[in-house]
C-alpha cells in the first residue's frame, strides 16, 4: 500500500516538530527556528542534541545547582561507601570509657571527636556520616515507590478517562484527605511493633514503604492534568489517525511530554522523604540504639541541649544541607525544563 | 470629590451585583449539583479514613498486652482493661460504639487520660494547637503576600534572590533544627528571655472571671500575668512555624505572580499607560491570589495535622504531642478521635476551597 506508506513517512518526517518539548527547545534559538520553518537542518540538529543534553547544558550554567548536584552525589556516594571510611562501628560506645584525649560521654568537639560525642559516648561525626545511608535510602526509594504508583495511575486516568479516571481520582482524593503524618506514624508503629514477619524489616524500609504508599496521590493528580493537556495537542490526533496503538502513543508521545513536571516532583520528593525520615525517627520510631539515623541522634541529644547543643544542631544541619541541596536542584531542574521561564 | 463619588458607587454596585450573581449561581442548577456532589463525596472519604484508622489501631492488638505483671494480678488487670476499652464486643460493634461516642463528643475510655470521657482534655488540646497554628498561618500569609509580590516585581535582582534564598532555607529547614536553634539562643542556657517549652508555667492558677468582672485587683493582676505568660510561651514556636509557612506562601505567590505578569493583558495595561502600582496590586494580584486562596483554605485543615513534630520540639501540650504518646499506649479513643477531628477539618477545608474556587473564578467550568 504505497499511499499509507507515504503518509507514514510524512508523519515520520514531522514527528520531531510534533514533539512539543523538542520543538520548544529548538525554537529558543532564533536561527534554529528559521531553519525549522524552512525545513532544512531539522533532522541533523535534533539528532545531534537530545532534550536531556539541553537540560544538562542549562543546568551547568546555574552555579548553585551544580554545587548542590555535586553535594547530593557526594552524600549518595558516602551513603554507599561509608563503612570503608569509618574507623569503627558507628554505634561503638567505647568513647565513653576512654576519658583521656578528649573522649568520654557528652564530650565537646575536639580533634579526636570533631563533632563531640553523645550521651552514651558515640562519636557524632561517625553517626552523622553513617546516617546518610538511612536518609538516602528513604529519600530515593520512597520517591521511586510513589512515582511508580502515581505515574502510571495518572497516565491511565488521563488517557482512558471515563469510569477508570473517576475511580482513580476518587482514590487519590481519599489519600489526599488522610492526615498524612498521623497515619504514617500509626502505620510505622503498627508494622514495627505488631506487624508479624513485616517487623523483621529494618525501620527505614518500613518508613519508605509507608511514605510511598500514602504519598502517591499528588503525583497522580499532576500527571493526570498534564496528560489531559498533552492529549489536546495535534500530534496526538495525528498519531491516532495513522492508527498507532494506545501503548505506542503513551510511550512515544505522552510520556516524554509529561516527564518534565514528574522529574521536578521526584526531585523534591527525595528532599521531603529525607525530611520525613528524620522527622519520624526524631519522634521516636525506630530503635534508638541500633538504628543509626539523623533523627534518632537528634532525639537522643535533646535532653542535653542546654549544655551540649552540638548533639542536636550538627545532625540537624546534616538534614538541612541535604534538603537544601535537593530542593535547589529541583528548582533549577524546573527552570531548565521549562523554557518559558528562561531569562 | 465629585469625580470620586460615582466611582465608589460603581464599585458598590458591582459588589452588590457580584453578590447577587453569586446567589443566582448558587441557586442555578449546575452549581447546586456541583456543590451537592462535592459534599456527598466527603462522606465516603470520611468513613474510609475512619475505617482505615480503626483497622490500623485494632490490628495493633489490645492495650492489655502492654500490662506488665504475672499471674492472677495480670488476669484481673487484663479483664478490667478489656472491659474499659470495650474489647469484649465484636469488631463491628466496637466501631459502631466508637462512632456513637465520636458524634456525641465523648470518645470513650482513654488510657492516656485515664478517664471515661476525655472530651474536656481533647477540647483543651484542640484549643492549644489552634492557638499555635492559626496565628502562625495568619502572620505568614500577611507577610508573604508583599514579599512574594516584591520578589516577582524585581525578578533576577538582588531582592528576588534574597527572598528566594530565604524561602528555600525556610522550607528546607526542619522544625527540629530551627526550633532547637531558637531554644539554644533565646531560651535555657542562652539569653533566657523566653521559656523553652510548654504553653504555660506549671500549676498556674486559673482566672476567676466573676472576680475580674467585679474589678478585683488581684484577679485582674492574675489575668494580666496569665496573658503575658501565654504570649511569652507562644513566641518561639510561633517564630519557628511562621518561618516555615512564610517560605511556602512566598514561593507560591511569587511563582503565580510571575506567571500572571507575563500575560498579555498585563502588557496591554502597561501599553495603556496605567501606573505600575495599579497593574501589580489590582490587575495582577487579583488573578495571582486565586491559587493562594485555595491553598490557604486547604491549610486551615492541614495545619493541625502537621503538629506532632513542632509540638514535640517545644513540648507543647497539643493534639500532635498527645497523639504520639497515645500511639505508644494504643489508646484507641484518643488516636481515632484526633485523627478524625483532623480529617474532618481537612475535608471541610477542601470543601471551602471548592466553594472559594467557584466564588473567585467565574471562568471555572463545572
Tens of pLDDT, residues B221-232: 888 888 999 999
What pLDDT shows up at residue A28?
55
pLDDT tens for each residue of A263-297: 888 998 999 999 989 998 998 887 777 778 899 99
| Interface predicted TM-score of the whole assembly (ipTM), two decimals | 0.82
Asked if A66 has any chain B CB less than 8 Å from its own CB, the reply is no
| Cβ–Cβ contact A103 with B under 8 A | no
For residue A298, list chain B residues with Cβ-Cβ distance below 8 A: 176, 180
Contact assignment for A174 to B171 by CB distance below 8 Å: no
Task: Confirm or reject contact between A309 and chain B (CB < 8 A).
Answer: yes
Instruction: Tell me whether residues A185 and B324 touch, CB distance under 8 A.
Output: yes
What pLDDT does residue B28 have? 65
Chain B residues touching residue A282 (CB < 8 angstroms): 176, 309, 312
Q: Which helix (H) or strand (E) holds B318?
A: none
Task: Extract the C-alpha cell encoding B16.
Answer: 452588590
Give pLDDT, residue A271. Answer: 92
Query: What's residue B154's pLDDT?
Result: 85
pLDDT at B350 over 90: no
> Residue A317: what pLDDT?
94
- Which one, of B137, B174, B173, lies nearest residue B312 by Cα? B174
Orientation of helix A255-282 relative to helix A180-194, angle to 10°: 70
Per CB-CB distance under 8 Å, the chain A contacts of B258 are 341
- Picking from B57, B156, B312, the nearest residue to A343 by CB comes out as B156
The grid cell for B90 is 465484636
* Residue of chain B with shortest Cα separation from A296: B176
On chain A, the residues whose CB falls within 8 A of the CB of B49 are 174, 177-178
| pLDDT the model gives residue A9 | 40
Give me the residues paired with residue B115 across strands.
B110
Q: Which residues of B182-210 are buried (b: 16+ CB within 10 A; e: fewer)?
A: bbbebbbebeeebbbbebeeeeeeeeeee
- A16-30, A109-123, B77-91, B203-217, range with the lowest pLDDT: A16-30
A146-204, pLDDT tens digit by residue? 999 999 999 999 998 889 998 998 899 888 888 888 888 888 888 887 777 877 888 88
| pLDDT confidence band for B279 (50 / 70 / 90) | confident
**pTM score, whole prediction:** 0.82
Rounded to a whole number, what is the distance in Å from the CA of B46 to chain A's nearest CA? 8
A212-221, A225-234, B44-53, B353-362: the lowest-pLDDT one: B353-362
Contact A291, A242 (CB under 8 A): no
Residue B134 CA to residue B291 CA, distance in Å, equals 19
CB atoms within 10 A of CB B85: 21
Alpha-helix runs per DSSP H in chain A:
2-18, 20-27, 30-38, 42-48, 51-61, 63-85, 124-160, 162-177, 180-194, 203-214, 217-231, 234-241, 246-248, 255-282, 294-301, 310-337
What are the grid coordinates assigned to A180, written together? 498524612
Q: Is the dihedral of CA B139, B143, B148, B151 positive or negative?
A: negative
The pLDDT score that the predictor gives to residue A103 is 64
Residue range B305-309: average pLDDT?
A: 78
Cell of B204: 498556674
- Rg for chain B, CA atoms, rounded: 26
C-alpha A21/C-alpha A53 separation (Å) is: 13
Buried b (16+ CB within 10 A) or exposed e, A123-161: bbbbbbbbbbbbbbbbbbbbbbbbbebbbebbbbbbbee
**Contacts across the A-B interface (CB distance below 8 Å):** 122
Contact B180 A309 (CB under 8 A): yes
> Out of A48-52, B236-240, B316-320, which region has the weakest mean confidence (pLDDT)?
A48-52
- Nearest-CA distance from B37 to chain A in Å? 12
Q: Whole-angstrom Cα distance, residue B166 to residue B186?
A: 21
Report the C-alpha gap between A220 and A214 in whole angstroms. Answer: 12
Q: Which residues contact A141 (CB under 8 A, 6 or more apart)?
A: A208, A212
What Rg value do the Cα atoms of chain A yield, rounded?
25
Number of H helices, E strands in chain B: 15, 0
- Cβ contact (<8 Å) for B309 and A279? yes
Q: Inspect the interface and report whether the beta carbons of B45 and A173 lie closer than 8 Å.
A: yes
Residues of chain A falling short of pLDDT 70? 1-49, 95-96, 98-103, 339-343
Amino acid at each position: 500500500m504505497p499511499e499509507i506508506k507515504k503518509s507514514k513517512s510524512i508523519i515520520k518526517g514531522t514527528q520531531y516538530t510534533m514533539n512539543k518539548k523538542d520543538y520548544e527547545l529548538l525554537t529558543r534559538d532564533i536561527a534554529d527556528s528559521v531553519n525549522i520553518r524552512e525545513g532544512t537542518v531539522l533532522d541533523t540538529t535534533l539528532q545531534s542534541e537530545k532534550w536531556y543534553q539541553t537540560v544538562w547544558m542549562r543546568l551547568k550554567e546555574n552555579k548553585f545547582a551544580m554545587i548542590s548536584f555535586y553535594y547530593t552525589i557526594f552524600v549518595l556516594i558516602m551513603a554507599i561507601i561509608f563503612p570503608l571510611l569509618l574507623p569503627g562501628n558507628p554505634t561503638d560506645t567505647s568513647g565513653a570509657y576512654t576519658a583521656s584525649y578528649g573522649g568520654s560521654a557528652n564530650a565537646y568537639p575536639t580533634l579526636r571527636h570533631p563533632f563531640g560525642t553523645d550521651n552514651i559516648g558515640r562519636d557524632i561525626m561517625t553517626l552523622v556520616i553513617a546516617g546518610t545511608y538511612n536518609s538516602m535510602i528513604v529519600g530515593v526509594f520512597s520517591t521511586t515507590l510513589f512515582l511508580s504508583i502515581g505515574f502510571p495511575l495518572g497516565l491511565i486516568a488521563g488517557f482512558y478517562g471515563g469510569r477508570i479516571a473517576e475511580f482513580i481520582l476518587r482514590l487519590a482524593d481519599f489519600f489526599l484527605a488522610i492526615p498524612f503524618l498521623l497515619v504514617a506514624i500509626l502505620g510505622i508503629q503498627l508494622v514495627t511493633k505488631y506487624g508479624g514477619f513485616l517487623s523483621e524489616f529494618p525501620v527505614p524500609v518500613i518508613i519508605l514503604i509507608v511514605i510511598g504508599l500514602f504519598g502517591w496521590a499528588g503525583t497522580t493528580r499532576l500527571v493526570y492534568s498534564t496528560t489531559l493537556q498533552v492529549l489536546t495537542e495535534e500530534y496526538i490526533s495525528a498519531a491516532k489517525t495513522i492508527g498507532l496503538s494506545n501503548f505506542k502513543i503513551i510511550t512515544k508521545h505522552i510520556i516524554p511530554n509529561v516527564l518534565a513536571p514528574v522529574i521536578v516532583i521526584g526531585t523534591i520528593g527525595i528532599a521531603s522523604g529525607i525530611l520525613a525520615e528524620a522527622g519520624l525517627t526524631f519522634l521516636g520510631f525506630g530503635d534508638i540504639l541500633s538504628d543509626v539515623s539523623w533523627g534518632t541522634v537528634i532525639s537522643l541529644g535533646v535532653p542535653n541541649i542546654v549544655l551540649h547543643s552540638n548533639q542536636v544542631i550538627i545532625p540537624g544541619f546534616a538534614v538541612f544541607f541535604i534538603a537544601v541541596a535537593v530542593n535547589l536542584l529541583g528548582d533549577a531542574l524546573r527552570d531548565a525544563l521549562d523554557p518559558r521561564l528562561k531569562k | 470629590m465629585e469625580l470620586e463619588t460615582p466611582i465608589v458607587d460603581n464599585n458598590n454596585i458591582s459588589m452588590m451585583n457580584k453578590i447577587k450573581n453569586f446567589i443566582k449561581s448558587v441557586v442555578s442548577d449546575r452549581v447546586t449539583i456541583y456543590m451537592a456532589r462535592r459534599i456527598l463525596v466527603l462522606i465516603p472519604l470520611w468513613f474510609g479514613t475512619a475505617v482505615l484508622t480503626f483497622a490500623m489501631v485494632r490490628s495493633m492488638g489490645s492495650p492489655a498486652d502492654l500490662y506488665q505483671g504475672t499471674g492472677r494480678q495480670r488476669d484481673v488487670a487484663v479483664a478490667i482493661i478489656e472491659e474499659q476499652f470495650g474489647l469484649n464486643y465484636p469488631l463491628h460493634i466496637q466501631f459502631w460504639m466508637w462512632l456513637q461516642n465520636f458524634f456525641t463528643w465523648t470518645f470513650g475510655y482513654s488510657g492516656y487520660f485515664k478517664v471515661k470521657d476525655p472530651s474536656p482534655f481533647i477540647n483543651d488540646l484542640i484549643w492549644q494547637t489552634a492557638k499555635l497554628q492559626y496565628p502562625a498561618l495568619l502572620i505568614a500569609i500577611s507577610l508573604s503576600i508583599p514579599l512574594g509580590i516584591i520578589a516577582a516585581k524585581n525578578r533576577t535582582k538582588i531582592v528576588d534572590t534574597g527572598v528566594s534564598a530565604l524561602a528555600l532555607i525556610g522550607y528546607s529547614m526542619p522544625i527540629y533544627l530551627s526550633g532547637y536553634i531558637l531554644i539554644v539562643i533565646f531560651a535555657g542556657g542562652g539569653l533566657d528571655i523566653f521559656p523553652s517549652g510548654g504553653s504555660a508555667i506549671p500549676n498556674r492558677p486559673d482566672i476567676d472571671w466573676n472576680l475580674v468582672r467585679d474589678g478585683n485587683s488581684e484577679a485582674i493582676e492574675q489575668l494580666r500575668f496569665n496573658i503575658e505568660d501565654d504570649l511569652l510561651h507562644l513566641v518561639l514556636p510561633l517564630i519557628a512555624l511562621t518561618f516555615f509557612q512564610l517560605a511556602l506562601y512566598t514561593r507560591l505567590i511569587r511563582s503565580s505572580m510571575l506567571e500572571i505578569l507575563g500575560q498579555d493583558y498585563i502588557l496591554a495595561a502597561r501599553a495603556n499607560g496605567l501606573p505600575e502600582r495599579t497593574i501589580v496590586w489590582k490587575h495582577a494580584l487579583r488573578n495571582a491570589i486565586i491559587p493562594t486562596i485555595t491553598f490557604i483554605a486547604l491549610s486551615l485543615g492541614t495545619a493541625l495535622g502537621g503538629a506532632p513534630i513542632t509540638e514535640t520540639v517545644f513540648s507543647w501540650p497539643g493534639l500532635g504531642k498527645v497523639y504520639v504518646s497515645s500511639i505508644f499506649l494504643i489508646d484507641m479513643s484518643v488516636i481515632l478521635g484526633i485523627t478524625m477531628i483532623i480529617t474532618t477539618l481537612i475535608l471541610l477545608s477542601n470543601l471551602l476551597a471548592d466553594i472559594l474556587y467557584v466564588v473567585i473564578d467565574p471562568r471555572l467550568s463545572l
